[in-house]
Structure 1
Amino acid sequence: MQERITEMLNHADAFIFLLGDLATLEALITLASWAHLHIHQKPIGLLNVNNFYDGFIVFLNHAIKNYFIPSSAKKLFICAHTANELLDMLQAYKPEPDPWTFVLERPNNDGNSSRSRSTN
């Protein structure tokens, strides 16, 4: 399963989860965990047909309320009831800045600045 999820990660611009079984839920949680760990910044969409993902959202809110996961975890998911609405939301998605990476402006020898990435 990990190979399949990694392959999706390498080739996808976004993820859309439809109704599914335990394998779907495993992929959803794995990609959310990887996003939380800043392994990727791709949007994760939930197509909430017939309120299929309502229970997941209730669980997520419960885990946040009881301090098992950070409130920022809710930002990992984009949820919509129609495909068109979800696609519009995914296209408008802007990833959160990575808190572990910052950009330094350093002057070059010629006086121009160059960007270098550094991690804490």
Structure 2
Amino acid sequence: MLNHADAFIFLPGDLATLEALITLASWAHLHIHQKPIDLLNVNNFYDGFIAFLNRAIKNSFISSNAKKLFICAHTVNELLDLLQAYRPELDPWTFVLERPNNDGNSSRSKKYKLDLTLHL
């Protein structure tokens, strides 16, 4: 799925939907993909998730760039407009995995940046 999709659109769903959403966000955070993660926020379904992200950012558990992984819209037309304008923005302070490509060679140079700042 990762290699065949141009974007990931999440509709309101169950725990499996949330698990897939977090997995794809983690992969984007690790620079495994740069594809937009779209939330179709029907009847404000994802408001709690957005509030969770905002609180985690406010309390310095995640960087403010983490929220940029997501595109959130209430209508399909609004979501499609935001998708058209999407440009990936990588967080320079995240851990970048070195992964082999199809021919077995490394697809990325080694870049390991780890923020070990303790926030109290």
Give TM class, smaller chain.
Answer: 0.7 to 0.9
Decide which structure has greater helix share. 1
Q: Residues 80 and 43 (structure 1 numbering): CA distance in 2 closer, same or farther, change over 3 Å? A: same
Tell me what 1:14 maps to. Answer: 7
Tell me what 1:35 maps to. Answer: 28
Structure 1: tracts of 5 or more residues without a match: 1-7, 102-116
Structure 2: tracts of 5 or more residues without a match: 97-107, 112-120
Using the size of structure 2 for normalisation, the TM-score is 0.75
1:93 to 78, 83, 86: 86
Give distance in 2, aligned partners of 1:99 and 1:118: 14
Greater relative contact order (Cα < 8 A, sep 6+): 2
Kindly state the Cα deviation for residue 59 of structure 1 after the two structures are TM-superposed. Answer: 0.5
Cα deviation per residue 1:69-98 (whole Å; 9 max; x = unaligned)?
Answer: 111101000000000110111121111157
Percentage of identical aligned residues: 86
Aligned: 1:25 with 2:18: yes
Kindly state the Cα deviation for residue 99 of structure 1 after the two structures are TM-superposed. Answer: 3.6
Decide which structure has greater strand share. 1
Query: AA paired with 1:86?
Result: L
RMSD: 1.8
Task: Provide runs of 4+ in structure 1 moved above 4 Å.
Answer: none
Report the number of matched residues: 98
Whether contact under 8 Å (2:41, 2:74) holds in the other structure is yes
SS in 2 for 1:46: strand
Give distance in 2, aligned partners of 1:32 and 1:99: 16
Kindly state the Cα deviation for residue 37 of structure 1 after the two structures are TM-superposed. Answer: 0.5
Using the size of structure 1 for normalisation, the TM-score is 0.75
Based on CA coordinates, which of the two structures has the bigger radius of gyration? 1
Tell me what 1:57 maps to. Answer: 50
Q: Residues 97 and 71 (structure 1 numbering): CA distance in 2 closer, same or farther, change over 3 Å? A: closer
